[in-house]
């Protein structure tokens, strides 16, 4: 017994660094605080992109390191790739990272409230429900609808499609007869989710689009009718409210009526665009979203929160419970006193990060108005950029629905140089410059440069910086082509 007690004391003392003292905590907090302050203050001046690679080293865990040393290392690690927190991130779909949400994460991590089950933390679960209820209200979903805070849009879509699959009871031989309708512009996670949930062999119909890359509803109707006449089983139509490539919002109201007439599950992927419903300018684009059976939105995009928070709303609870609700023996008691479904009943996750706190804290601290203003600012900045870039001789797509647009230099008309080739060199030079980051895509074999404005740190000064960078890179590209293509330049 004496030995045992001695051993316990020894172990307790050895493990004690895991609980820093009050004074140690002060020191740690101060060091992190300084690091972050410096980081944020430098963001505006630093490049938004730098190509490079970090070779991973063997993880040396024998000796403790100082926090200062580790932060220096992180600084080195963070300098390459896209600076996601920078306002100059105008590629793909930019993310957020508002500071107060970071504080929410800190509180969530240190208190480690168990956010999966009401029994474990009625408070954390209530907060998640408050947020879900708020999102239900902004999309006019009924009170009886349910929802879940996921890690992002991909898992949110996965939960929605699983629910659709089970509502339509698609299994075994039904799979090859079942038809999914979407446009070629849906996010790739849609098809990935279909594969994960065992629907690899469904029939996928790409519905034609109009000139703004929006689903053509008449074409959808015709496809459904023809599939039905062939004895197939149309079961889901997937609309986008803000596509990744061009930010297009499909005609939700029209799609909703086609879905209803044909008994299809109506899914809306609004991961990127959803929160623009909060702006007066764009609210009407979302008409019809109320009819969705399931809806995906990403607060880590449109609410400027740090990565790791998406959301799914499901209109009828039964549809999602079938696959996601589970009662195990060792969870005896976990349902005692539960008034409602817990997050774990509506998601593949059991134990989950209390990710709702970052959203709740920042929404409660700031109120909704700054978020709305920031979204409206992004819309206007996109408009401003596209007008300016046209004046520089670039071609742009049609006026975008939201805050994603694209452009290319018409080098063929101006100089007789092949356009995809020219714009690729131009974009390469823009990457090498790196002050502001833009990404690219192909639209029907046409190589275009995209602008996606969604960072809360993107302002007019950022856009002006980007325009200046593009003007300089355009000059360099022209010089490069003059040098290498002098014979074709007649
Ligand atoms: C970003 C995005 C997704 C994927 O969401 P993640 O949060 O990256 O998993 C899905 N659909 C659309 C339209 C998106 O913009």
Note whether 223 and 181 are within 8 A (CB). yes
Q: Which of 242, 269, 441 is the pocket-test mutation for ligand 1 (most atoms within 8 Å of CB)?
A: 269
| pLDDT bracket for residue 405 (50, 70, 90) | very high
Q: Which of 95, 148, 149, 152 is the pocket-test mutation for ligand 1 (most atoms within 8 Å of CB)?
A: 152
Q: What ranges make up the beta strands (E) of 190-298?
A: 203-206, 233-240, 265-270, 294-297
Strand partners, 50: 81
Q: What is the pLDDT of residues 289-322, one digit of tens each?
A: 999 999 999 999 999 999 999 999 999 999 999 8
For residues 446 and 412, give the distance between their C-alpha atoms in angstroms, rounded to a whole number.
13
Q: What percent of the chain has pLDDT over 70?
A: 97
Considering only CA atoms, which residue is closest to atom 3 of ligand 1? Answer: 153
Rama region for 110: left / alpha / beta (φ>0; ψ in -120 to 50; rest): alpha
Entry pTM: 0.96
Using the mean position of ligand 1's atoms as its centre, give its distance from the Cα of residue 77 in Å: 25
> Beta-carbon neighbour count of residue 390 at 10 Å?
12
Three-state SS for 406? strand
Q: Which of 268, 271, 302, 309 is the pocket-test mutation for ligand 1 (most atoms within 8 Å of CB)?
A: 271
Question: Average pLDDT for residues 58-66, to the nearest whole number?
Answer: 92
Q: What ranges make up the beta strands (E) of 218-365?
A: 233-240, 265-270, 294-297, 310-314
The set of long-range contacts for 204-211, using a CB threshold of 8 Å and a minimum separation of 24, is: 204/179, 204/180, 205/179, 205/180, 205/181, 206/182, 207/181, 207/182, 207/183, 208/183, 209/183, 209/184, 209/185, 209/248, 211/398
Q: Which residues line ligand 1 (CB under 6 A)?
A: 93, 152-154, 187, 189, 240, 244, 269, 271-272, 298, 310
Note whether 388 and 158 are within 8 A (CB). no
Those residues whose C-beta lies under 8 Å from the C-beta of residue 300, and which sit 6 or more positions away, are 95, 96, 152, 306, 307, 308, 309, 310
Counting atoms of ligand 1 from 1, which one is nearest the CA of 272?
A: 15
Note whether 234 and 264 are within 8 A (CB). yes
Q: What is the pLDDT of residues 27-57, one digit of tens each?
A: 999 999 999 999 999 999 999 999 999 999 8
Output the six-digit token pair for 294. Answer: 């399931």
Question: Average pLDDT for residues 243-256, to the nearest whole number?
Answer: 97
| pLDDT bracket for residue 60 (50, 70, 90) | confident
Does the pLDDT at position 339 exceed 80? no
How far from chain centre, in Å, is Cα 114?
A: 24
Which residue, among 301, 308, 247, 283, has the nearest Cα to 455 in the 3D structure? 301
Note whether 457 and 43 are within 8 A (CB). yes
| pLDDT bracket for residue 490 (50, 70, 90) | very low
Q: What is the pLDDT of residues 149-198, one digit of tens each?
A: 999 999 999 999 999 999 999 999 999 999 999 999 999 999 999 999 99
Which residue, among 14, 322, 349, 288, has the nearest Cα to 171 in the 3D structure? 322
Counting atoms of ligand 1 from 1, which one is nearest the CA of 300?
A: 7
Question: Average pLDDT for residues 77-101, to the nearest whole number?
Answer: 96
Question: Average pLDDT for residues 235-251, to the nearest whole number?
Answer: 97
Q: What ranges make up the beta strands (E) of 25-130?
A: 49-50, 81-82
Residue that the structure tokens 């004074």 belong to: 23
Which residue, among 379, 382, 413, 378, has the nearest Cα to 395 in the 3D structure? 413
Q: Give the range among 108-117, 266-275, 281-290, 314-323 with minimum mean pLDDT.
A: 314-323
Output the six-digit token pair for 125. Answer: 């679960």
Backbone angles phi, psi at 109, to 5 degrees: -70, -45
Question: Average pLDDT for residues 207-220, to the nearest whole number?
Answer: 97
Q: What is the DSSP letter of 238?
A: E
> Beta-carbon neighbour count of residue 364 at 10 Å?
12
Question: Average pLDDT for residues 401-413, to the nearest whole number?
Answer: 97
Q: Which of 91, 151, 187 is the pocket-test mutation for ligand 1 (most atoms within 8 Å of CB)?
A: 187
Q: What percent of the chain has pLDDT over 90?
A: 93
Rounded to the nearest integer, the mean pLDDT of the chain is 95
Q: What is the pLDDT of residues 13-31, one digit of tens each?
A: 999 999 999 999 999 999 9
pLDDT of residue 325: 85
Distances (CA, A) of 34 to 279, 341, 362: 36, 42, 21
Burial string for 117-142 (b: 16+ CB within 10 Å, else e) reads bbbbbeebbebbbebbeebbebbebe
If 0-12 CB within 10 Å is exposed, 13-18 middle and 19+ buried, where does residue 466 land? buried
For residues 347 and 359, give the distance between their C-alpha atoms in angstroms, rounded to a whole number.
19
Q: What is the pLDDT of residues 433-455, one digit of tens each?
A: 999 999 999 999 999 999 999 99
Three-state SS for 372? helix
For residues 312 and 89, give the distance between their C-alpha atoms in angstroms, rounded to a whole number.
26
Those residues whose C-beta lies under 8 Å from the C-beta of residue 105, and which sit 6 or more positions away, are 306, 355, 357, 358
Give the up-direction half-sphere exposure of residue 174: CA atoms within 13 A in the CB hemisphere.
11
Does the pLDDT at position 334 exceed 70? no
Strand pairing of 203-206 and 178-182?
Answer: parallel
Three-state SS for 288? coil
Considering only CA atoms, which residue is closest to atom 5 of ligand 1? Answer: 153
Does the pLDDT at position 336 exceed 70? no
| pLDDT bracket for residue 323 (50, 70, 90) | confident
Counting atoms of ligand 1 from 1, which one is nearest the CA of 307?
A: 7
For residues 457 and 450, give the distance between their C-alpha atoms in angstroms, rounded to a whole number.
18
Those residues whose C-beta lies under 8 Å from the C-beta of residue 390, and which sit 6 or more positions away, are 396, 407
């Amino acid at each position: 017994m004496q030995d045992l007690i001695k051993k316990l004391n020894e172990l307790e003392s050895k493990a004690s660094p895991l609980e820093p003292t009050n004074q140690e905590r002060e020191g740690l907090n101060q060091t992190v605080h300084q690091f972050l302050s410096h980081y944020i203050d430098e963001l505006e001046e630093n490049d938004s992109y730098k190509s490079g690679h970090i070779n991973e080293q063997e993880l040396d865990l024998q000796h403790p390191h100082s926090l200062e040393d580790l932060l220096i290392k992180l600084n080195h690690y963070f300098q390459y790739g896209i600076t996601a927190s920078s306002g100059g991130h105008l590629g793909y779909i930019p993310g957020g990272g508002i500071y107060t949400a970071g504080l929410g994460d800190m509180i969530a991590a240190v208190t480690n409230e168990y956010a999966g089950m009401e029994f474990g933390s009625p408070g954390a679960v209530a907060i998640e429900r408050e947020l879900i209820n708020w999102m239900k209200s902004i999309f006019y979903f009924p009170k009886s609808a349910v929802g879940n805070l996921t890690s992002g849009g991909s898992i949110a879509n996965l939960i929605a499609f699983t629910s659709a699959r089970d509502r339509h009871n698609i299994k075994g031989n039904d799979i090859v007869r079942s038809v999914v309708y979407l446009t070629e512009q849906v996010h790739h996670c849609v098809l990935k989710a279909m594969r994960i949930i065992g629907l690899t062999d469904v029939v996928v119909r790409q519905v034609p689009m109009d000139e703004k890359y929006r689903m053509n509803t008449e074409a959808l109707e015709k496809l459904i009718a023809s599939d039905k006449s062939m004895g197939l089983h149309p079961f889901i139509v997937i609309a986008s409210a803000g596509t990744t490539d061009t930010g297009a919002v499909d005609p939700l109201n029209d799609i909703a009526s086609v879905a209803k007439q044909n008994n299809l599950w109506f899914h809306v992927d609004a991961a990127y665009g959803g929160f623009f419903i909060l702006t007066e300018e764009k609210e009407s684009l979302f008409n019809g979203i109320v009819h969705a059976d399931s809806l995906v939105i990403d607060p880590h995009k449109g609410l400027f929160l740090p990565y790791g928070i998406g959301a799914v709303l499901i209109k009828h609870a039964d549809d999602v419970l079938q696959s996601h609700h589970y009662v195990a023996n060792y969870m005896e008691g976990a349902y005692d006193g539960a008034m409602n479904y817990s997050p774990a009943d509506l998601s593949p996750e059991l134990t989950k990060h209390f990710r709702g706190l970052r959203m709740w804290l920042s929404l409660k601290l700031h109120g909704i108005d700054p978020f709305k203003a920031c979204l409206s600012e992004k819309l206007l900045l996109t408009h401003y950029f596209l007008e300016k870039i046209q004046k520089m001789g670039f071609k742009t797509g049609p006026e975008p629905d939201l805050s994603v647009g694209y452009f290319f230099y018409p080098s063929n008309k101006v100089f007789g140089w092949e356009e995809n080739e020219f714009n690729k060199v131009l974009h390469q030079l823009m990457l090498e410059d790196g002050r502001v980051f833009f990404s690219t895509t192909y639209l029907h074999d046409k190589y275009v440069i995209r602008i996606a404005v969604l960072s809360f740190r993107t302002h007019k000064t950022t856009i002006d910086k980007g325009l200046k960078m593009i003007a300089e890179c355009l000059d360099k590209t022209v010089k490069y082509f003059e040098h290498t293509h002098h014979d074709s330049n007649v």
